[in-house]
A and B are shown apart, each in its own frame.
Chain A
């Protein structure tokens, strides 16, 4: 298990090609707005060092948003950037455990078209176990929410 340098996130291996990144602080704004640029902000640098320094092919990265109380737009930008990097290796990003307010924002952003979104970390792990890295859709009956077709 890796604790991020600034103490705001934890990364844990949960099996071959499956990792979980948990944000462990309710308000990450001071880690995001310290720089004007997403790639230079402390949070992204921490994510990069903790979870993106090595990305295995076809990996599923679960990002647990459960403790986040404040979800600024730049955080979504960070998620998009992480998704881009993971997808470059044929992988996927699964968001989970968003509180109702965060889920409202994700729904408005139609985030389910880019990310798999699960209600709980357990459900996310189930999705990750089914993800075969070949960019196929999952049978709807297997998904608690939706799993994007990865066509974008």
Chain B
């Protein structure tokens, strides 16, 4: 173990900690370990977020080629409360301003990715006992925390630079592009430290994630309340000034860049880093600041089957996804009617929209596109729930269950119930809430709720195909089970950019989501839906047959 490299690196610790070199010994090696473990995951979000934003530049310049058209679009959007709630306030009408505004939710996603990354490399490691293993080597007390923060903040800086470069590359002003890169990187850095603090509080990584995500949600909500109050002349405008998401947006890229807003962001990042370090110095490895609650001494009478066990293991995940999808439904449904305002007086757009059915057709098209996106996100949940089978197996927790009178199929089915029904619950909830808010905004709740629920439900066959593929991998090629995530990424790319860059049909057809009927508004053809269901059934059956036949390897 060379600790020299670590010592050199810690000299440039950007987290502003006052810890002495000794407690940071080995940080460099740990950073390398993190980069090695995250060599696929980290580059993914570092690259995808800037690419999505770059995609907005292309689509805005295609849709609104002249300043006048941009102006119309901006005028229609700026007073729309649901848009302001989702993206933030829009002041100008230049291409850069519109793109930055449209990307207003992405810093929240960056914050989410950052806090998850930090918790993954701190509390999750501790919970798994790996931190203990490293703690016994030549590694300083704070090295693990410092390494997680440095890697994550570093990834955010790389992402910011990449974003700025992509924007400048598309002929947007340099100052604005720089400000936008900083906005994204600062959001990531702040929530990386929020994750670091949360990781000190609880013994379980799951609770730490819950705390950090709750903070992120609250901060986002503050911005929403503040911004919406401001445009509607309410008195709560100050709320957005309390929100770190509000601060970084007030850097105002492409407008009249307000660099001073970087200051609170940097201060909070430094302060939270210091808090995390101070908390970590005050506790033992493995423990949390909040005392772990004791469980019941005896199991409830209902906890007597593998299904009851699976419910215990899946219910937290299901509740989290259901809550997130309820919120997404409220927001996305609330915005729907505003989409109709965007047509404005742009003649070309009007023609396009007339062809797809006028204003109502436009809103329907929007609902179709968000439901496909919700479907893709739900597929992530379905895969996550399916791969719990594999996690249980590799962690050695399947073995004691399978050594009881529970058969393999019964064990697998207990988990797969949640991979099949969980996504259905989650999608129906998002459809219900989107239908409610959209229906309320046009005064037609009774009419819209069933339409939007149907639009959500129709995604399920495609979601199940991906879940069933994961089952097939777990059963037949267990070592390659994680390939399911790769397949999802391919489907995501096809779904998000496939039609925009005019991929050929053969490629588009690879994604099950390409074959889903377009609801609301479109026709429901039974054939593709039935085909997808059959494919899902075949994959699932093949996987289960494989699982019955193969060895359950030693943990």
Q: Do A and B bind each other?
A: no
Residues of B whose CB lies within 8 Å of any CB of A are none
